[in-house]
Amino acid sequence: MFVHGWGFDPDFWTPVRSALGRADGIDLDFGFFGPERMAARPARPFVAVGHSLGALWLLRHRPERCIGMVLINGFARFSAAADFPPGVPPRVVGRMIQGLEQNPDDVVLTFRRRAGIAAGLPGPAQAGRLAAGLAMLRDEDARPALDERASSAILPPMTVLAGQDDPIVTADMTRASFSTGMPIEWVADGGHLLPLTHPDICAATISRMTQRSRAA
C-alpha cells in the first residue's frame, strides 16, 4: 500500500511500481488534486510504503494487517519544538496555510520546486485538503509511538530510507525523528524525492521488507 506526500498524488509512485515489476497494491490519495481516497486497504497482510507526509501518516495511523513499513524521506515529527530543534519552524507552515487561501497553485508549485521537481501540477490544487495536510505536518508527533515500539510490538518492522542531501527533511531531522536506535539507510546523493530520482533503490528496499515480512 502506497501513501504519497504533501503536494503530490498517487502517480508519484509510478517509477517505483515500474521498478518493482508488479501491478498489485493499493494507492491511497490525500486528495490534494482530486477526490480523496484514504480508506482503501489490501485484502491480505501487506507492506505499507509512505513518502514524507505519507510516512508520518502511517506512523500515526497504522493500518490493520500492515506487517511492515518502508518510510521514504520520512520523519516522526516535522515542525520544530523545544525538544525537536531540527524541525521546520511552525510559522513557516502557518504561512503556507495562509497562502493557500489566495494562491494554492503557487504555494504547491513553490514547494515542489524546492523539493526538486519543476513539472506542473497534476490537477487543480484543492486548498482545503492541502491545508489539512499542512496542519498534520505542523501538529502531528509520532515519536511517542516509536518510543512505545521499543518495549512492545505496537508497530511492525520498519525501514527508513533517507537522502543525505534532502532539502526538506534534513539529515538532522531524520536522525532526531528516529533516535530510538532504528537503522537508517542513507542514499548519499539523494534528495527529497527518492521515489522519482532513485526508484530502483526504493524498489529494492520495499522488496527486502516484503521478503522479511513474509518470513516472519
Cβ(155)–Cβ(213) below 8 Å: no
CA distance 71 to 3: 10
164: its cell numbers: 543525505
pTM metric for this prediction? 0.95
- State which amino acid sits at residue 173: M
Instruction: Indicate whether 5 pLDDT > 50.
Output: yes
Q: How far is CA 113 from CA 18, 106, 109, in A?
A: 24, 10, 6
Q: In what order do the strands lie in the sheet with 184-187?
A: 27-28, 2-3, 46-51, 66-72, 158-163, 184-187
Q: What is the tens place of the pLDDT at every residue in 115-164?
A: 999 999 999 999 999 999 999 999 999 998 888 655 455 788 999 999 99
- Residue listed under C-alpha cell 492541502: 130
CA distance 21 to 38: 24
pLDDT value at position 150? 53
CA distance 81 to 141: 10
Helix axes 90-100, 104-115, angle to 10 degrees: 140
Q: What CATH number should be reported for the domain whose range is 2-215?
A: 3.40.50.1820
Instruction: Indicate whether 83 pLDDT > 50.
Output: yes
Q: What is the tens place of the pLDDT at every residue in 172-201?
A: 999 999 987 788 999 999 999 999 999 999
Q: What is the tens place of the pLDDT at every residue in 8-57?
A: 999 999 999 999 998 788 999 999 999 999 999 999 999 999 999 999 99
pLDDT value at position 216? 62
Instruction: Give residue limits of the domains in the chain.
Output: 2-215
